[in-house]
Chain A
Amino acid sequence: DNTVKTVFHDPQNYNVKHPLQNTWTLWFDNPGKKANAASWSQNLKEIVDVNTVEDFWGVHNNIVKVNHLEISSNYHVFKKGIRPEWEDAANANGGKFSIQFPRNRTGESINDYWLNLILAMLGEQFQYEDEICGAVVSVRKVFYRVALWIKSSEKNEKIETIGRQLKEFLNLNASLTVEFTPHGDSAAKTSENRFTI
Chain B
Amino acid sequence: SPVSTPTATTPKVKGPPMKVIEDFNSIEYPPEFLAPKARDPVTGKISYDSAFLKQFQKLCLETDEDLSAFQSIGDDSQGGHDN
Whether B47 and A63, one on each chain, are in contact in the complex, defined by CB atoms closer than 8 angstroms, is no
Most interface-central of A11, A57, A59, A61 (chain B CB within 10 A): A57
A58 at the binding interface (Cβ < 8 Å): yes
What separation, in Å, do the CA atoms of A42 and B13 have in the docked complex? 28
Contacts of A68 in B (CB 8 A): 74-75, 78-79
Contacts of B60 in A (CB 8 A): 7, 11, 53-58, 61
A116 at the binding interface (Cβ < 8 Å): yes
Total A-B pairs, Cβ < 8 A: 136
Give the interface SS of chain A, mostly helix, strand, loop or mixed: mixed
B8 at the binding interface (Cβ < 8 Å): no
Q: From known contacts A16-B20, A18-B21, A58-B60, infer whether A125 and B82 are also in contact, taking CB-CB under 8 Å.
A: no
Interface residues of chain A, those whose CB is within 8 Å of chain B, are 4, 6-9, 11, 15-21, 28, 30, 45, 47-48, 52-65, 67-71, 73, 107-108, 116, 119-120, 122-125, 129, 169
Contacts of A61 in B (CB 8 A): 57, 60-63
| 24 A–B contacts, CB within 8 A, in A order | A4-B26, A7-B56, A7-B59, A8-B33, A16-B18, A16-B20, A17-B19, A18-B48, A19-B46, A48-B67, A52-B20, A53-B48, A57-B59, A59-B65, A60-B57, A61-B60, A62-B63, A64-B71, A67-B78, A73-B73, A108-B82, A123-B47, A124-B46, A125-B50
Whether A67 and B47, one on each chain, are in contact in the complex, defined by CB atoms closer than 8 angstroms, is no
What separation, in Å, do the CA atoms of A129 and B48 have in the docked complex? 13
Whether B46 and A8, one on each chain, are in contact in the complex, defined by CB atoms closer than 8 angstroms, is no
> Measured between C-beta atoms, what is the minimum distance from B1 to chain A in Å?
28
> Measured between C-beta atoms, what is the minimum distance from B13 to chain A in Å?
14
Interface residues of chain B, those whose CB is within 8 Å of chain A, are 18-21, 26-27, 29-30, 33, 36, 38, 45-50, 52-57, 59-65, 67, 69-71, 73-75, 78-79, 82-83
Please give 18 more A-B residue pairs, beta carbons under 8 A apart, in addition to A53-B53, A61-B62, A119-B53: A16-B19, A16-B21, A19-B21, A20-B46, A30-B73, A53-B60, A54-B18, A54-B56, A55-B63, A58-B60, A61-B60, A63-B70, A67-B78, A69-B75, A70-B75, A120-B50, A123-B49, A123-B50
Contacts of B79 in A (CB 8 A): 68
Q: Which residue of A lies closest to B70 (CB)?
A: A47
What separation, in Å, do the CA atoms of A16 and B28 have in the docked complex? 13
Q: From known contacts A21-B46, A119-B50, infer whether A6 and B27 are also in contact, taking CB-CB under 8 Å.
A: yes
